[in-house]
Amino acid sequence: MTPPDIQEIIRQAAVKLGVQLADGVTELIADYTIEGRKATNILADAYGVALYRNPQAKQVQLTLEDLKEVIQLGRLTPNVITRASHTAEVGKIFGLGVSNFWGSVLEIEAVAFPAREKGQGKIRFNETAGSMAKDSVFNAASVVRRLTGEDMGEYDIHVNVIGGGLIDGPSAGLAILLAITSSITNKPIWQDVAVTGEVSIRGTVKAVGGIPEKIYGAKQAEIRRVLVPQDNILDVPAGSGMEIIPVSTAEKAMALIFAPAEKPALGKSDGETLHFNGHLEADSCRTRTCEGLPRPKQR
């Protein structure tokens, strides 16, 4: 269920309980679950706290303090830690992963400095991310050099997955490539766009798994558009309200992900014409909007 679905369930349950909800209560509960039953259980626990504090009240009002006490005592963790914003940042991008059938966004960042010793640049990456993710970094470095002409030996580059964790698969390759390119070229990346896909050393975007779950995770984080491998287009479910754009090469992804310096440029995505008017709009012969499934080993 999406956050609006959970919020509606909470409002209906509150009417049956005869409790008034303070501003922000439904939104906060929706941050901690995508299951209707769990949402009503959280509400019932918070209602018990509110009733304990005001046993004589004719009309019980459930406050954020009541709800936060339940969250703290239950040691609940939010489903969505990071949310998208319509801003642009250099060297930071949202990838997508799947853990235990739950989709989630991965915050990936990169920073580049001139090498301390000319021609002896180094690339550093999270040791905890796993060997496949590390391979993606090296693949990305080769593609960056081919596409931009920049010699990686001239830079010390640090790539980081915020929050750490194991990335079990190559699907962060496209995100890593775009983050490194952004850090070297100083081109900002839109922060309401997420990407997934493996990248070959020739710059081809390869198919990956978990597309429905990843799209759902992106929707939970309020991502507005998602770039997926062209070969995964048949895996995309319909009806999410997000813009799903298939790409087959790293060049086409770059045309869509970077924020323009002045006037937005037109991009093409495998036969589609994309126009930028504050947000991307696609002639929809191959663009599909998708309905996701459920969050959080990352593929």
Looking at 104, 136, 171, 269, which residue is catalytic? 171
Place of tokens 């580059």: 157
The span from the CA of 273 to the CA of 261, in Å, is: 20
Looking at 92, 214, 219, 252, which residue is catalytic? 214
For the question of residue 171 being annotated catalytic, the response is: yes
Structural contact between residues 242 and 103, judged by C-beta atoms closer than 8 angstroms: no
Per-residue exposure over 176-207, b if at least 16 CB sit within 10 Å of its own CB, e if not? bbbbbbbbbbebbbbbbbbbbbbbeeebbbbb
- List Cβ neighbours of 74 (8 Å cut-off, separation of 6 or more): 42, 45
The span from the CA of 263 to the CA of 265, in Å, is: 6
Please state, as a whole number, how many other Cβ atoms lie within 10 Å of the Cβ of residue 243.
22
For the question of residue 131 being annotated catalytic, the response is: no
The span from the CA of 232 to the CA of 249, in Å, is: 13
Q: Which of 280, 213, 274 is nearest to 242 (CA)?
A: 280
Classify burial at 150, counting beta carbons within 10 Å of its beta carbon; exposed 0-12, middle 13-18, buried 19 or more: middle
The span from the CA of 278 to the CA of 190, in Å, is: 11
Active site residues: 171, 214
